[in-house]
């Protein structure tokens, strides 16, 4: 949704509309003939650059922002309008350039070479003496059967400096192709040699099963490194590939859980034994790109990692990445001062299992399948694991240490969506650190905003300071803020729409509608909320949650600050009444705006000294109707609002 702001910033509404409508400048504003209804007598179409809005005071009697304009003009929905305007704003991705096309073609060539190399290494494994020894190692030492060997395309790279390059040279490939595919390496003097020698070869495929590179494991314990990957190539970006995901994705989805391990055999062997929801970031910490791929299939992750210290550090780094990469849901919270705030919670369940006896996952699975199952079932929520890791080797009697650890662990607690779970964790942390739970709660409230880089590089952290409504400078900002507050409230409790409608009717006012919202993106969200109430497939809140990412709402929202005596928080009814008041307020603001526009149009027509008494009357009647509505709204606002 950030793009919407960016698009609005970049596109000048006057430029946009001028393409189809001859606009006449008048003071700060522009008038013209409405493009949506046939009209050649009076310009009743007004554009307000200051607010980025337009309105037709003629037959259409409607208006909005640039999105609404494009939707109406092109007859498209919001998504398409967004696409059109994004392109215009230069935000949309460009189509393939000739250079990009070339790269795609090059990738195809290199991929073909890698597929060919799989066949070459397989042949070496099965048909040569040295390869047979490697095969025996796989069978006897790693417990890999023939079927698995075939399925994963395991092979053997002969102990030679030029076996693979000779093989490909005979087939007419250029050395440069082999270098680019990562199969041979180049010395400083320009001579080349086979990158993988005397190793078990493991093909690494991308999420779609396309060849990307190889992992090679030593057979001679003296050789280093133990594992060696393809170098970075246009096909192989280690940080963007999860080993095994092409074969695991189905199982991950059906188990609704992904198990993350460290090595290749930790994926292959459990897969053979029936545990197929396993992937590996190939010995490094999880990256954001890897996490993004995974979360398409599940939101539940178990990290099954080595218990050694390095493993734990990697785990912590991996968890940090996971937290950054996973989306959050915005949960509006009323805090003690009566502010409505978003707190973002992770839409994921992260767990860690530590492995016993210095064993790797493949060894445990082979030792006892049931044991592996239990280890995964018993994986602990990350908080316990992180707390243990942070505490180990520290003097937790030291107040400074207590405070540092609390500051590190509390953001993880805040990620959890269930308030009950959060409480339980805080209690646990307080007990472990031997501190008072209340001081822990205070630390939580005063937590520093978490940095979350946005496209514009701004800090849109979860706990940005809330600016009270009364301090917002322009009506426009106020309007936007209020719209968002209403959306947040209704997104959490959509059924309240009916209570609000009953209240509005009692005030002789129209029920809540999309037209109450100026910003098209907000209209779209209200539409989803309304839709949630007219479907019966799922709970309305769930329906909304699947369609709106409230954390995308740009501005932190707040109600106006309340008196000190209301420190206890606000009851649900009060929230409802407050929302009803906000709806009256946005109507008041937009009617005032509309009246201002009307007066402008009237003076405009008077100035042009045109004899169009009919349209003049029309405008007068419209003003009168608006003033009548405004009075009803003011009446309702002047009384205490009682709902329920």
Question: Whole-number minimum distance, CB 50 to Zn ion, in Å?
Answer: 21
Choices 30-38, 173-181, 447-455, 496-504 (CB under 5 A): range interacting with Zn ion: 30-38
CA 341/CA 493 separation, integer angstroms: 16
Q: Which of 1, 14, 18, 60 binds Zn ion (CB under 5 A)?
A: 60
Looking at the Cβ atoms of 56 and 325, the one nearer to Zn ion is: 56
Question: Whole-number minimum distance, CB 600 to Zn ion, in Å?
Answer: 17
- The CB-side HSE value for 326 (13 A sphere, CA atoms) comes to 27
Question: Whole-number minimum distance, CB 33 to Zn ion, in Å?
Answer: 9
Question: If you write DSSP's letter for every residue of 88-117 in order, what string do you get?
Answer: HTT-SPPPPPHHHHHHHHHHHHHHHHHHHH
Choices 54-62, 227-235, 355-363, 391-399 (CB under 5 A): range interacting with Zn ion: 54-62
C-alpha separations of 33 from 258, 337, 593 in Å: 59, 50, 20
Looking at the Cβ atoms of 354 and 520, the one nearer to Zn ion is: 520
Looking at the Cβ atoms of 56 and 286, the one nearer to Zn ion is: 56
Handedness of CA 428, 431, 437, 439 (dihedral sign): negative
258-260 vs 278-279, strand pairing mode: parallel
Q: Which of 23, 56, 228, 435 binds Zn ion (CB under 5 A)?
A: 56
Question: Whole-number minimum distance, CB 253 to Zn ion, in Å?
Answer: 50
**What's the residue count for the chain?**
644
Token digits of residue 255: 């188990």
Question: Whole-number minimum distance, CB 37 to Zn ion, in Å?
Answer: 4
Find how far residue 28's CA is from the centre of its chain.
Answer: 39
Looking at the Cβ atoms of 18 and 284, the one nearer to Zn ion is: 18
Which letter does DSSP use for residue 50 in this model? T
Looking at the Cβ atoms of 68 and 323, the one nearer to Zn ion is: 68
User: Hey, which residues between 277 and 336 contact Zn ion (CB under 5 A)?
Assistant: none
CA 117/CA 154 separation, integer angstroms: 11
Question: If you write DSSP's letter for every residue of 154-203 in order, what string do you get?
Answer: -EEE-S-SSHHHHHHHHTT--HHHHHHHTSEEE-TTS-EEES--SEEEEE
Choices 33-41, 262-270, 344-352, 434-442 (CB under 5 A): range interacting with Zn ion: 33-41
User: Hey, which residues between 34 and 53 contact Zn ion (CB under 5 A)?
Assistant: 34, 36-37
Using CB under 5 A, count the residues that bind Zn ion.
6
Looking at the Cβ atoms of 34 and 526, the one nearer to Zn ion is: 34
Question: Whole-number minimum distance, CB 36 to Zn ion, in Å?
Answer: 4
What crossing angle do the helices spanning 2-10 and 66-74 adopt, rounded to 10°? 90
Q: Which of 58, 143, 213, 494 binds Zn ion (CB under 5 A)?
A: 58
Looking at the Cβ atoms of 58 and 330, the one nearer to Zn ion is: 58
Question: Whole-number minimum distance, CB 3 to Zn ion, in Å?
Answer: 29
Looking at the Cβ atoms of 75 and 221, the one nearer to Zn ion is: 75
- The CB-side HSE value for 74 (13 A sphere, CA atoms) comes to 18
Residues making contact with Zn ion (CB under 5 A): 34, 36-37, 56, 58, 60
């Amino acid at each position: 949704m950030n793009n919407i702001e960016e698009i609005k910033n970049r596109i000048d509404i006057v430029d946009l509309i001028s393409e189809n409508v001859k606009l006449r400048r008048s003071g700060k504003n522009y008038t013209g003939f409405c493009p949506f209804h046939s009209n050649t007598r009076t310009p009743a179409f007004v554009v307000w650059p200051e607010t980025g809005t337009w309105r037709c005071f003629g037959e259409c009697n409607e208006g909005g922002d640039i999105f609404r304009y494009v939707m109406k003009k092109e007859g498209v929905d919001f998504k398409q309008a967004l696409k059109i305007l994004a392109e215009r704003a230069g935000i949309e991705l460009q189509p393939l350039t000739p250079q990009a096309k070339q790269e795609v073609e090059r990738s195809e060539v290199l991929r073909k070479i890698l597929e060919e190399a799989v066949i070459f290494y397989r042949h070496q494994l099965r048909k040569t003496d040295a390869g047979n020894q490697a095969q025996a190692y796989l069978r006897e030492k790693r417990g890999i059967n023939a079927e698995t060997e075939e399925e994963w395309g395991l092979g053997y790279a002969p102990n030679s400096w030029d076996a693979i390059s000779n093989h490909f040279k005979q087939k007419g490939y250029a050395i440069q192709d082999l270098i680019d595919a990562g199969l041979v390496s180049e010395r400083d003097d320009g001579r080349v040699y086979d990158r993988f020698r005397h190793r078990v070869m493991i093909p690494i495929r991308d999420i779609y099963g396309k060849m990307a590179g190889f992992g090679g494991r030593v057979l001679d314990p003296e050789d280093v490194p133990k594992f060696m990957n393809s170098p970075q190539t246009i096909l192989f970006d280690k940080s963007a590939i999860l080993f095994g995901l092409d074969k695991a994705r189905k199982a991950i989805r059906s188990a609704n859980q992904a198990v993350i391990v460290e090595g290749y055999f930790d994926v292959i062997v459990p897969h053979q034994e029936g545990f197929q929801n396993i992937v590996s970031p190939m010995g490094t910490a999880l990256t954001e790109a890897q996490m993004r791929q995974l979360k398409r299939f599940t939101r539940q992750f178990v990290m099954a990692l080595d218990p050694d210290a390095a493993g734990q550090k990697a785990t912590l780094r991996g968890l940090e990445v996971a937290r950054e990469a996973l989306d959050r849901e915005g949960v509006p919270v009323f805090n003690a001062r009566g502010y409505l705030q978003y707190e973002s919670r992770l839409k994921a369940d992260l767990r860690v299992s530590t492995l016993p006896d210095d064993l790797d996952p493949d060894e445990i699975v082979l030792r006892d399948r049931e044991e592996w199952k239990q280890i995964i079932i018993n994986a602990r929520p990350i908080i316990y694991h992180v707390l243990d890791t942070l505490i180990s080797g520290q003097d937790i009697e030291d107040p400074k240490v207590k405070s540092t650890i609390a500051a590190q662990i509390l953001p993880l607690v805040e990620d959890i969506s269930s308030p009950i779970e959060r409480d339980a964790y805080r209690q646990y942390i307080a007990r472990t650190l031997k501190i008072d739970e209340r001081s822990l709660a205070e630390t939580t409230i005063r937590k520093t905003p978490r940095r979350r880089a946005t496209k514009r590089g701004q800090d849109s952290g979860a706990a940005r300071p809330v600016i009270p409504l009364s301090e917002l400078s322009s009506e426009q900002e106020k309007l936007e803020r209020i719209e968002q507050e209403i959306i947040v409230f209704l997104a959490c409790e959509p059924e309240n729409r009916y209570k609000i409608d009953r209240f509005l009717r009692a005030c002789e006012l129209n029920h809540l509608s999309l037209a109450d919202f100026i910003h098209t993106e907000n209209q779209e969200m209200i539409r989803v909320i309304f839709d949630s109430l007219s479907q019966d497939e799922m709970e309305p809140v769930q329906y909304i949650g699947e369609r709106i990412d409230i954390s995308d709402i740009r501005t932190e929202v707040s109600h106006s600050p309340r008196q000190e005596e209301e420190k206890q928080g606000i009851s649900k009814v009060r929230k409802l009444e407050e929302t009803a008041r906000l709806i009256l307020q946005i109507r008041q603001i937009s009617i005032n705006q509309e009246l201002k526009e009307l007066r402008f149009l009237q003076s405009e027509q008077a100035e042009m000294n045109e004899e169009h008494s009919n349209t003049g009357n029309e405008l007068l009647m419209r003003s009168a109707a608006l003033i009548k509505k405004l009075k009803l709204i003011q009446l309702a606002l002047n009384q205490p609002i009682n709902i329920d």
